[in-house]
Amino acid sequence: MNCYKFLVGAIVVIVSGIFLVINSDKSRSEVRPDGNIAIKVSGGFLLMFGILVLIGSFIGLSSGCQPQTIL
């Protein structure tokens, strides 16, 4: 069941990252144009983190959601 929580969490993080990147173009401010870049970078980091969690949850689902020892 924990793998599904991570899977849903990863999808939420990826969607919020995409939402931030898309909306950073729409909310251009002439006062602080570098704030736009900061929003894009944070959205990109959210996107990358979400993809990593998604990959990890797929690996967990393939192993049957059981913790495994490396050795």
pTM comes to 0.69
- The radius of gyration computed from the CA coordinates of the chain, to the nearest angstrom, equals 16
Q: What are the residues whose beta carbons fall under 8 Å from the beta carbon of 25, sequence distance 6 or more?
A: 36
What are 28-52's pLDDT values in tens digits?
555 566 667 777 888 888 889 999 8
* 8-state DSSP, 65: T
Q: What is the DSSP string of 20-39?
A: HHHHHHHS--SS-THHHHHH
Tell me what pLDDT residue 60 has.
Answer: 79
Of 43, 51, 45, give the one whose Cα is nearest residue 10: 51
